[in-house]
Amino acid sequence: MIKAILIFNNHGKPRLIRFYQYFAEDMQQQIVRETFHLVSKRDDNVCNFLEGGSLIGGSDYKLIYRHYATLYFVFCVDSSESELGILDLIQVFVETLDKCFENVCELDLIFHMDKVHYILQEVVMGGMVLETNMNEIVAQVEVQNRMEKSEGGLSAAPARAVSAVKNMNLPEIPRNINIGDINIKVPSLSPF
């Protein structure tokens, strides 16, 4: 069983935390800090397995982690999961994120935290591995996103209009119009 999935950056700021066993909130933060502490000390060419820290639950639990650029993906698992299998699972998860977000980077994870959760829900459920086929996962996530968008209905329209206008590329409005000896100053309009 997977006990927890943590994603944090090189400075220890959490980008996604998901616990499959109940911990109080301050305990959760402490676990994140302790895990960061353990994982950041590791060199880059050592093995990806760590015996767990004292907080996350004792001798049966291992931390399996992978370091991608600025992010650490850490899965805390017990002995019923195959270690190499979990390493592959992390790879599958990251590739899925890549497909869903198109060249995923840390900012995507920051600003779309809820979407990352939904993708994760398709991969791991209740601490157990659910689906490992990347295409299947991506397909399901797309369908659900479409459903959510289509549900927006009427109430979504003004919001969409606003965002549409914001993204419109309006040509630059000249500030000063000089025609011969007439000088017109164009007042600046407040942006939408």
In angstroms, give the least distance from the CB of 20 to other proteins: 7
- Quote the CA–CA distance of 111 and 107 in Å, as a whole number: 6
Q: Which is nearer to other proteins, 88 or 186 (CB)?
A: 88
Q: Which residue, 50 or 56, is less far from other proteins as judged by CB?
A: 50
Are the C-beta atoms of 95 and 134 separated by less than 8 Å? yes
CA 28 to chain centre: 18
DSSP code of residue 19: E
Least spacing, CB of residue 69 vs other proteins, in Å: 19
Smaller CB separation from other proteins, 149 or 173: 149
* Largest pairwise CA distance in the chain: 85
User: Could you tell me which stretch among 70-78, 96-104, 137-145, 176-184 binds other proteins (CB under 8 A)?
Assistant: 137-145
DSSP 20-64: SS---HHHHHHHHHHHHHHHHTS-SSS-SEEE--TTTTSTT-EEE
Shortest gap between Cβ of 48 and other proteins (angstroms)? 6
Q: Residue numbers of the site for other proteins (CB under 8 A)? A: 14, 16-18, 20, 22, 25-26, 28-29, 43, 45-51, 82-85, 87-89, 92, 110-115, 117-118, 121, 125-133, 135-136, 140, 143-144, 147-149, 151-152, 155-156, 159, 163
